[in-house]
Chains A and B, each alone.
Chain A
Amino acid sequence: MINYLRKIFKSGWEGFMRQGFLTFSTSLVIFIAVVLGTGLLFFQGGVSYLTQQIKDKIDISVTFKSDVPRDTILGIRDDLTKLGQVKKVDYISPEDAYNTFIEAHEGDEYMEALGLLSVNPFMPSLRIQTKEPSQYKDVSEFLKKEEYAGYISEVNDYKRGVTIERLGELTRSVQVLGISLTLFLSLIAIIITFNTLRLSIYSQKEEIEIMRLVGAKNSFIRGPFLVQGFLCGLFAAIISFMILTIVLFIFNKQLTTLFIGFDSLAFFKNNVFWVILLQMFVGAGLGLISSYFAVRKYLRD
């Protein structure tokens, strides 16, 4: 059995090495499919990054009356933290708000206006981030409770509600679009690869016939074609991995600017195992499966 498999691998390897043009054209198409697959992985990474960025920017700001003691506010913060929808609550003291304002507006006309005041005009507040943009409503409902109403000066969700809702819809749309695009382009890549391999095996139809006539079993004919398809896929995956690595290391700065801050190189480094796995799976898998179906036509009963 091992000897039989060795012969099949040897024959497949010979075909891969000697049928230069066929190997090149098949590998090229699989390479495109692998690049597309890898691109989609990065696209998903970019979409997640963008979604997270948007989510992080969505918050509810609760401003308390100036006479509300710090401990009361921290108590309300603890109550909020216990809510399942809440991701993070930050307490911002009047001093923190004052300092932040100074840092942001140093030297401009707002600072002049602030200078005219003899007291700190900022009031203590809580900045709340929910796990999902749509959950801001639950949090604002929670804050409308009678026990808190006396302390709260303003909950700014009423003004930003529409924006939050729209941003939420946008992130959902981007995700749905990303998944749809992934599925659509993957399907196209599979169809193109399968048809290319079908054509390349069709061009060897006569050779298959010769193998049959000299008395080779179907498995002995099919085996080398599968090995050849697998090797073409593996070759395409290795080349695409090398090109991807080089491109990311050389053009990372430009790519980060192009993709609104999404650091492709960092994503690549963090997911290198998945990138290799995906490329091997797409390349070798497509080569193997497409060869199987393409050669099956000539070996049917």
Chain B
Amino acid sequence: MIQFKNVTKEYSPNLFKEAKVALQNVSFEIKKGEFVTFCGRSGAGKTTVLKLISCEEKPTSGTVLFDDMDTKDVKKSEAYLIRQKIGFIFQDYKLLSYKTVFENVAYALEAFDFNEKLLRDEVMQVLELVGLESRANCLPKELSGGEKQRVSIARALIHRPEIILADEPTGNLDPYHTRDIVKILLKINEAGATVILSTHDREIVNALEKRVITLENGRIIRDEEKGVFSL
């Protein structure tokens, strides 16, 4: 489903900064339905991997294939075609501040020109799944961190994506909410979606018992089925 072939990503230098190599000659493959965790220290290249998958960034060299499509050939204005297959979950939630919980989740469907008659039921169903049906009319500023993250998950799930990209989804949450989020991610994976998680939380990685790819200074130093956190 996703293939990285000798991928290097460098961020261009500017007047004040030197060129930064975020990924160096990275290769791996992720199959449909897998649950893969990328772990590593801050700056190891985890987020860059997710950005390359979602076409936010293009590799400096090498190839990133998404469903056999080279992301280098995808124009910025056509990147939505790839993103419509992805559900994003971010550490900082990235909710639209002036839209309610319902509208934030519905936005992802509206963007796909979804049948409006079915939209309300779909959204309420997903909100129920994440336990937020009673908060549907609240604005993001009225929610706790855990609730915001659940909205973010609901938005990621609403269009039944093939892949979930979760970038440090528990980074801002307490242990109680962290367990909740991990459970939801496992459920999504059991339902057939590919889950790609980026984290540096030891407990999560060890508890998952799924494939772990460890990055250090932009290189893969370990790729294990049922891996554990070891840095």
The answer to whether A and B interact is yes
Chain A interfacial positions (CB closer than 8 Å to B):
3-4, 7, 11, 14-15, 18-19, 206-207, 209-218, 220, 299-301
| Contact B80–A217 (Cβ < 8 Å) | yes
The answer to whether B76 touches A301 (Cβ under 8 A) is yes
**Using Cβ atoms and an 8 Å threshold, which residues of chain B touch A206?**
94
A7 proximity list for chain B (CB < 8 A): 110
- The answer to whether A4 touches B113 (Cβ under 8 A) is yes
Contact of A212 among B75, B80, B103, B116 (CB under 8 A): B80
Name the A residues within 8 Å of B94 (CB-CB): 206, 209-210, 213
Would you call B98 and A215 a contact (CB within 8 A)? no
Instruction: Tell which of B98, B108, B111, B155 touches A18, judged by Cβ atoms closer than 8 Å.
Output: B98
Q: Are B80 and A215 in contact (CB under 8 A)?
A: yes
- CB of B210 closer than 8 Å to a CB of A: no
Residues B94-122 near A (CB distance < 8 A): 94-99, 103, 107-108, 110-113, 116
Please name the residue on chain B nearest to A220 by beta carbon. B111
Q: Are B111 and A214 in contact, with the CB atoms below 8 A? A: yes
Contacts of A207 in B (CB 8 A): 96-97
B residues contacting the other copy or chain, number (CB 8 A): 27
Given A211-B111, A214-B88, A301-B77, A19 and B83 touching (CB < 8 A)?
A: no
Asked whether, in the complex, the Cβ of B107 is within 8 Å of the Cβ of A216, the reply is yes
B197 an interface residue at 8 Å Cβ cutoff? no
Contact B79 A214 (CB under 8 A): no
Nearest residue, chain B, Cβ from A217: B80
B60 at the interface (CB under 8 A from A): no
Whether B107 and A211, one on each chain, are in contact in the complex, defined by CB atoms closer than 8 angstroms, is yes
Nearest CB in chain A: distance from B187 CB, A = 21
Does B77 contact A299, Cβ atoms closer than 8 Å?
yes
| CA of A296 to CA of B116, assembled, Å | 28
**Cross-interface CB contact of A300 among B76, B96, B113, B116, cutoff 8 Å:** B76
4 tightest A-B CB contacts, nearest first: A216-B111, A215-B84, A215-B83, A18-B98
> Does chain A have a CB within 8 A of B56?
yes
Among candidates A3, A15, A217, A220, residue contacting B116 with C-beta atoms closer than 8 Å: A3
A30 to chain B, nearest CB (A): 20
Give B95's nearest chain A residue, CB to CB. A210
What residues make up the interface of B, taking CB atoms closer than 8 Å to A? Answer: 54, 56, 75-77, 79-80, 83-84, 86, 88, 94-99, 103, 107-108, 110-113, 116, 155, 159
Is there contact, CB below 8 Å, between B98 and A213?
A: no
**B84 CB to closest chain A CB, in angstroms?**
4
Question: What's the nearest-Cβ distance from chain A to residue B140, in Å?
Answer: 11
Among residues of A, the one whose C-beta sits closest to the C-beta of B94 is A210
Of B76, B96, B112, B159, which is within 8 A of A210 by CB?
A: B96
Q: Which residue of B lies closest to A6 (CB)?
A: B116
Known: A18-B98, A212-B83, A215-B159. 8 other contacts (CB 8 A): A4-B113, A7-B110, A206-B94, A207-B96, A211-B111, A214-B108, A215-B83, A217-B80
Contact B77 A215 (CB under 8 A): no
User: In the complex, what residue of chain A is closest to B116 when comparing beta carbons?
Assistant: A3
Tell me if A218 and B99 are in contact (CB < 8 A): no
CB contacts (< 8 Å) of A212 on chain B: these are 79-80, 83
Q: CA of A11 to CA of B109 in the docked complex: distance in angstroms?
A: 13
Contacting residues, chain A, for B103 (C-beta < 8 A):
14
User: Quick check: B99 and A14 within 8 Å, CB to CB?
Assistant: yes
Q: Which chain A residue lies CB-closest to B155?
A: A214
Once the chains are docked, how many angstroms separate the CA of A212 from the CA of B77?
A: 9
Judging by beta carbons under 8 Å apart, are B83 and A214 in contact? Answer: yes
User: In the bound complex, what is the Cα–Cα distance between A125 and B169 (angstroms)?
Assistant: 97
In the bound complex, residues from chain B placing their C-beta under 8 Å from that of A217 are 80, 111
Instruction: Jot down 16 A-B pairs with beta carbons below 8 A, ordered by A.
Output: A3-B113, A3-B116, A14-B98, A14-B99, A211-B111, A212-B83, A213-B54, A213-B88, A213-B94, A214-B83, A214-B107, A214-B111, A216-B111, A217-B80, A220-B111, A301-B76
